[in-house]
Structures are given as C-alpha cells and as structure tokens.
Amino acid sequence: MDSETVIFAAETGSFEMRKPELLERRNAKWRQYPSDVIPAFVADMDFRIAPAIQRAIQHSVEAFDYGYPMRDGGKADRAVASAFVNRMKNVCGWDVAEAQVLVLADLVQAIYASVMAFSDPGDGVIVQMPSYPPFRDAIATTGRTCVPLTMQATDRSYVFDLEALEATVDANTKIFMLCNPQNPTGRAFTRDELLEVLAFVEKHDLIVISDEIHSDLVYHGTRHIPFASLSPSAAARTVTLNSATKSFNIPGLRCAVAYFGTEELMQRFHKRIPVRLIGSVNSIGIDATVAAWTEAQPWLDEVLNHLKEMRDHVVATLRREIPGIRFQVPDATYLIWLDCSDLGIEGSAFDFFLERARIGFSPGEAFHPECEKFVRMNFATSKPILDEMLDRMITAVRSNRR
C-alpha cells in the first residue's frame, strides 16, 4: 500500500481513499492548511462513512427528496429520538424516555442553551480543565463564571480532585459541566469516579450538563457509563448531550440530541429556551443519524479496531523515539493529549510542529491558557499517513536538540 492511500475495512470489504481525494474534500481538516501540512487537529476521521449511512443519504438524493420531512407518518426528528432510545438500551442498558429527547442541529448549541437555561449571568459553571474550547466560550459569552476543575496527570491516567474543588464552589455555582469521555485527555471515567461526582453535585444541588459525544469511541476493556444512568437522582439533574457525528464521521450533517432525565427538567429548560429557538434538523442529517445508530455498528466495530492499532502505534513510537513527550494512553476517542514541556521548544508546541514538521495539531492553549507546551493529536487516519506524521515529529525534535 502506498503512502497516499487510506485503507479501511468495512461491511463489504476495503474502502480506499488516496491522499489527493482527501485534499479534494471541501472540509476544514484538509482545507485549512497548505497541502504540504498533515492535518491532525479537528475531530474528523480520514475514512469514508459507513455504507449504511451512504445508502440513506443516496435515497434522498436519488428521490429529489428535499421537502419538509416526515418519517413513519410523524415528525422526522422523532425517528432520531427513537433511534437514540434504542441505542442507549442496546449499548448501555439504559432506559430512556423518548418524549424527553430533544433533537437539535448542533451539540455546541445545546451546550449554550443549557447554560442559559439553568443559570444566570454571574453564576458559576464548573468545567474540567483542559477542556473542549466551546465549553469555556459558552460560559464567557453568556456572562457566567468559569469554575475550573483541573485534570491532573498521574503515572497512568488523568484524574480530578473534588476535595480541592470544594474551596471554589459557592451558593452561586449552578452547573457542573461533565465531558465523558473527556476531551482532550481521552479519559473514560469509571463508575466510582462518576458516583463521586454525583455525591458532589447532590451536595451542592448542581445541574449536570454531560457531553457524551465520544461515548461510542471507547476501547476494549473500558465501558461508557452515561452519568444520568447512575440513579434516578442523577437523571433528575442531568442533561445528556450526544450525537452520531463524531463516532460515525458525519459532523457536517449537523444532528444531535439533548436528553433530559425528567420531564420537569425539560420543562425548566423550555421556560427559558423556547423550542422554536432551537430550530430543526435537516432531513439528510436525520436519515444519516438514524442509519448510523441502527445499521452501522459493523462499520464502527472495524473503526475501533483500526483506531486502537493507531493509538498503540503512536504510544509505542513516541515512547521509543521521543520519550521527552509525556502523555497518558487514552481510554477513548481518537485524540491524544501530548505534553511537550520537556522538549526545549521555544514558543508554543503548536507553532514548533507546524513550522518545523509541517503538522497541524490542535494548540494546547485552545484547551487551557496555560497549556502552550501541549498539543492535541488526532490519530484517526491510515498507518502510512500516521507514520509520515510521526517521522516528521521525530526529525523536528532531534533537529531541535542540535
């Protein structure tokens, strides 16, 4: 296989994408930088989508079916809600009430809307740090106060200290923003850790906004546990956010869900956020999401096998060739959080690798202002492309030592 080929096994055999095809895509990943830069930033995979999803999209295209959508004699968004309910039951053993599923176009929109619904300007919102940038943007732009919960690196993982958090929480703290699996560290939290969070939020009477968009991307030996599934008490205070867009590689189709653990919680949300303000999802996004959650699991199983191989390859190569880069092996996601503080780099790690290796990582400071020496690496690509990326990193770091 040549270095410009992405090989990917799926339902009916091998799907190949050459690098020129990737460069022809009109998406942010392959268009943001010049063609000599290997992109490894935005959470997008270099694979063709599942055949089941492609068929669902082609059905609408071939029928010229772009009118106001209905599915199964009802509102089209209910097809997404039903698919979510069934998937949570089948994958997580979690019973979800379809009437409490709100379907909307964008998970970030749901983050903003939930912050505005369950807090007032000046109120505190707890967020894990480092964090997905829109979390902090939602807090800042709506006039709330960020209460950081630091993800601390241990020998094997990232953890947080709820005892230390006690000193920063007061009566004006209203929301605990949970990201599980966590972005950018790739942690998938254990039941015991989540129970500790539950005890904390119950003590302080906090609403939990639980972003679980990476929940399908957990590796063997790890299990995703929806926070709201812990107990009726957890459900009563939790808005669960999810989408097929990350795990099934369809972010441009814009479809997500917000699940309210009780009808009362959903009513509280809509008192501040009218349903018309949320808008509606386009028909192709609906069909793609339903196909993903109901038909595309064989594709995802192959994806996870490939991603685990790529994760392990990155881990082994960096430990052997660039031991100065510190990291913990992610439990989930196709992202790895790299601490380059010991490499002797002047300026940011992002600038160093962009200029010296022609790799476009995600800058660490986007996830935490104090993480200039970190980068987030996306390894959801083929081994030839990943090998080229790793070779460039090794060459740049060794050259810098001289």
**167: which residues sit within 8 A by CB, 6+ positions away?**
none
Amino acid in position 279: G
Read off the tokens for 226.
Answer: 């929806």
Block mean pLDDT (10 aa), the chain, length 402: 41 54 86 94 94 96 92 92 98 97 96 98 98 97 98 91 95 98 97 98 98 97 96 98 97 96 98 93 96 96 95 98 97 98 96 98 98 98 94 97 76
List for the chain the helix, strand, coil content (%; round to 5): 45, 20, 35
- Give me the CATH topology for the region 58-295: Aspartate Aminotransferase; domain 2 (3.40.640)
Q: What pLDDT is stored for residue 117 in this prediction? A: 98
Residue 71: strand pairing partners: 74
| CB contact at 8 A, 227 and 193 | no
List the end-to-end C-alpha distance of the chain, in Å, as a whole number.
34
Sign of the dihedral defined by the CA atoms of residues 175, 180, 186, 188, in that order:
positive
Surface-to-core class of residue 225, CB atoms within 10 Å of its CB (0-12 exposed, 13-18 middle, 19+ buried): buried
Surface-to-core class of residue 369, CB atoms within 10 Å of its CB (0-12 exposed, 13-18 middle, 19+ buried): exposed
| DSSP alpha helix (H) spans, 119-180 | 133-141, 162-165
Instruction: Write down the pTM of the prediction.
Output: 0.94
Contacts of the segment 148-151: beta carbons below 8 A, 24+ positions apart: 151/182, 151/185, 151/187
Q: What pLDDT is stored for residue 54 in this prediction? A: 96
- In the chain, count H helices and then E strands: 15, 17
| CB contact at 8 A, 299 and 312 | no
Q: What pLDDT is stored for residue 17 in this prediction? A: 63
What are the extents of the domains in the chain? Answer: 5-49+297-401, 58-295
Q: What is the DSSP code (8-state) at residue 332?
A: B
**367: which residues sit within 8 A by CB, 6+ positions away?**
129, 130, 131, 132, 133, 184, 374, 376
Contacts of the segment 77-80: beta carbons below 8 A, 24+ positions apart: 77/103, 77/280, 77/281, 77/286, 78/103, 79/286, 79/290, 80/255, 80/257, 80/281, 80/286, 80/289, 80/290
Q: What pLDDT is stored for residue 5 in this prediction? A: 42
**Cα 168 to Cα 119: distance, rounded to the nearest angstrom:** 17
- Give me the CATH topology for the region 5-49+297-401: Aspartate Aminotransferase, domain 1 (3.90.1150)
The pairing of strands 374-378 and 238-242 is unpaired
